[in-house]
Structure 1
Amino acid sequence: MNRPNRTPRRLCLLLALLLGILPGCRSAAPSRGADGIRVGVALYQQNDTFIATIVSSLEAAAREREADEGLKITLNITDGRGSQATQNEQIDRFLSTGYDVICVNLVDRTAAAVIVDKAKSAGIPLIFFNREPVREDIMRWDKVYYVGAEAGKSGVMQGELVAEAYRADPEALDRSGDGVLQYVMLEGEPGHQDSLLRTEYSIKAVTSANVTTEKLANDTANWNRGQAASRMSQWIDQFGGRIEVVFANNDDMALGALDACRAAGVEPLPFVVGIDATPPACESLRAGELRGSVYNDSPGQAKAILDLSVALATGRSPSEAVNFREEKYVWLPYHKVTPETLDEVVPPAE
């Protein structure tokens, strides 16, 4: 007796299962990320102090999430070392190997459009953080998001720190007694939106408080402590004790200015303010050398990046994981920090 040929039937059943059209097939299929998720994290430069705090907070948040939920989270963190070409290669590898989500701290914000288009073609969600692309690039695809803080507000708060200190004790800042605050400005990299906005809004906040200022000098130091120390040394040689206030677009540059002052034996120190409230800056605040900073919530940014990544990788609604503004942006607040308010504002380092 000949047995019926079941091969065509088996092939049909297999095809139906693969296409997910059999009753109950879709409900039985595991959701994306059920066996763990892979998140690629591309940094502009890992030795940037603030970026390093985000990375350590992100790793800590991932370990906590794994322990709480039993979900394996693999973070692959790459360092672009300040080269957009290098970062592009790293992102291409994430795309080609099928990562669930890619998080990008851009070297050059003008490169965002190309990265978005590649991610869209691969169907891999994209989260930019800390370095904000232009809005048009964020809107190129519905699976592109941004996590960060609004740079202009940090500049306003930095200026308010100076204005408040001046109102409280004018003679402590205006050592020449001429009714004018002579200042120098250490800026981040040229053209970076944080540099431009922090520079502009910090001085606007001071003058809006009816404090008269005079700019002695400004120059870029690319967020770098060593470069800032070099610039400040030149200004000390040029202006000496005329420098009453030092504005720095971030804490590393503020600390570089203090390094130069100590090396030159400057006494008393000028009124130096930074932005980010990084751990080294907090130590300087406690020592009474750095006079103010603006807390940039790196643990909060890291948590938002991770929560959004997990939601996107596992097919959950992103809006249930984070608080969006305009459906695309997660903004973390800034807070002013002085030596007196440090312990109230900045959480202790883990």
Structure 2
Amino acid sequence: MLFKKIAIFFFVIVIIAKLSINYDNNVYASNDKIVNVDVLLYTFDDPFMSSLKQSLENIQKENPTKIHFTFHDGKNNIALQNEELDSIVNRGSVDLVMANLADISENAVNGAFGIVKPKEIPIVFLDVPQDVVSKVSKNYKKAAFILANSDLAGTVQGNILVNLWNSNKKAIDKNNDNILQYVLLQGEIDNPVAIDRTNYVISTINNSGISTQQLALINANWFKELARDSIESLFLRYNDRIEAIISNNDAMAIGAIEALQKYGFNTGDESKNIAVVGIDAIPEARDLIDKGFMTGTVIQDPKVLAEVFYNVGMNLVNNLNPIENTNYKIINGEIIVPFPYEEYVKK
């Protein structure tokens, strides 16, 4: 009788242990589910967006059992992006959307909400203006907004020209009038990143005691080709009056250099060189700087942005605070990307 009771006791223990193991395995399986993420980029033609795409792909390679990215080229067309987003949601296999929209207006953001909200799909936006965020952020709890510190990017860019002015003024102040005459290549006309970069680069130069004169401001929408065509035309108009070309990103700066080189400038002859500065530090820009064809750029590491996208997105998927277990800061409803902005100039 005692032996029978002991046998039953051990049988119960074995059953409980098996149930416990199965439970643990099921919990692990649920936590180990691959998160399917659809990434809407406003265009694949932007070199920085291409670098961001590659950085996200590297995160996937490092976490093959956690996340899978599918990328969509918006071709700078919000209507196309809305069609793609609608198709993604109706497909029913998406767990998270990351959106870099071609249109960052209030209507566009609410339009995206209207597509993902019925299915309660979390969404992370990039570079939506703060005034828009203040109006739409309460409309959907499973949304987060990421924004770069464009003030600092513009400041570092301005310091590149300030340092050049102070160390080799003759190389930049070609007419010796103590005024920096410049052309500014700006991104989209209403883009908050473009506006902040523009304002802070000029204020940094002025605050250093250098007077400036804007010869022209061109909205080249971040694209190399538009910048190249614009500078080709402006060079014929202003010719030797242009002392610097300040670009909101490297793509437009590269376009400017291609235009200048058409006229024999920025090919290595210091007597025929116009200072050109950009932002992003993409490989092509670094190469031009190393060769002495471009003055400088600001390092904005796409890996940092990819990590923010990943960490914030995974928090939303797991119903956590968007900045849970991170050192990110939220300012006016937006998660600020902690880029360690640094200048890149020829050594």
1:221 shift after superposition: 1.2
What CA distance in whole angstroms lies between the structure 1 residues aligned with 2:113 and 2:253? 34
- Partner in structure 1 of residue 72 of structure 2: 78
Please show how residues 1-350 of structure 1 align to structure 2 within 5 Å.
34-66=32-64, 71-96=65-90, 97-110=92-105, 111-132=108-129, 134-136=132-134, 137-266=136-265, 267-315=271-319, 318-326=322-330, 329-340=335-346
For the structure 1 residues 65 and 176, does the alpha-carbon distance in structure 2 shift closer, same or farther, using more than 3 Å as the test? same
What is the CA deviation profile of residues 42-97 of structure 1, one whole-angstrom value per residue up to 9, with x for unaligned ones?
1110111000000000001111122xxxx242211111111101101111122222
For the structure 1 residues 109 and 226, does the alpha-carbon distance in structure 2 shift closer, same or farther, using more than 3 Å as the test? same
1:142 shift after superposition: 2.6
What CA distance in whole angstroms lies between the structure 2 residues aligned with 1:274 and 1:63? 31
1:284 shift after superposition: 1.2
Query: Retained in 2: the 8 A contact 1:161–1:336?
Result: no
Q: TM-score, normalised by structure 1?
A: 0.83
Query: Retained in 1: the 8 A contact 2:39–2:98?
Result: yes
Query: Retained in 2: the 8 A contact 1:248–1:273?
Result: yes
1:306 shift after superposition: 1.7
1:311 shift after superposition: 3.4
Query: Retained in 1: the 8 A contact 2:154–2:197?
Result: yes
For the structure 1 residues 132 and 49, does the alpha-carbon distance in structure 2 shift closer, same or farther, using more than 3 Å as the test? farther
1:131 shift after superposition: 5.0
1:28 shift after superposition: 5.2
What is the CA deviation profile of residues 110-144 of structure 1, one whole-angstrom value per residue up to 9, with x for unaligned ones?
11122124323221111112455622223433321
For the structure 1 residues 330 and 178, does the alpha-carbon distance in structure 2 shift closer, same or farther, using more than 3 Å as the test? closer
What CA distance in whole angstroms lies between the structure 1 residues aligned with 2:201 and 2:74? 30
One-letter amino acid of the structure 1 residue matched with residue 109 of structure 2: A
Instruction: Between 326-335 and 176-185, report the one with greater CA deviation.
Output: 326-335
1:209 shift after superposition: 0.8
Query: Retained in 1: the 8 A contact 2:304–2:339?
Result: no
For the structure 1 residues 25 and 120, does the alpha-carbon distance in structure 2 shift closer, same or farther, using more than 3 Å as the test? farther
1:340 shift after superposition: 4.3
What CA distance in whole angstroms lies between the structure 2 residues aligned with 1:27 and 1:125? 27
One-letter amino acid of the structure 1 residue matched with residue 80 of structure 2: T
Q: TM-score, normalised by structure 2?
A: 0.83
For the structure 1 residues 316 and 216, does the alpha-carbon distance in structure 2 shift closer, same or farther, using more than 3 Å as the test? closer
Q: What is the total number of aligned residue pairs between the two structures?
A: 314
What CA distance in whole angstroms lies between the structure 1 residues aligned with 2:315 and 2:30? 10
Q: Secondary structure at the match of 2:328?
A: coil
For the structure 1 residues 106 and 287, does the alpha-carbon distance in structure 2 shift closer, same or farther, using more than 3 Å as the test? same
* Unmatched segments (≥5 aa) in structure 1: 1-23, 342-350
Q: Structure 1: which 4+ aligned runs deviate by more than 6 Å? A: 24-27
For the structure 1 residues 32 and 145, does the alpha-carbon distance in structure 2 shift closer, same or farther, using more than 3 Å as the test? farther
For the structure 1 residues 330 and 181, does the alpha-carbon distance in structure 2 shift closer, same or farther, using more than 3 Å as the test? closer
1:156 shift after superposition: 2.0
What CA distance in whole angstroms lies between the structure 2 residues aligned with 1:329 and 1:140? 17
What is the CA deviation profile of residues 196-241 of structure 1, one whole-angstrom value per residue up to 9, with x for unaligned ones?
2222221111111110111111211111111111111111111111
Query: Retained in 2: the 8 A contact 1:323–1:330?
Result: no
One-letter amino acid of the structure 2 residue matched with residue 268 of structure 1: K
One-letter amino acid of the structure 2 residue matched with residue 126 of structure 1: I
Query: Retained in 1: the 8 A contact 2:144–2:322?
Result: no
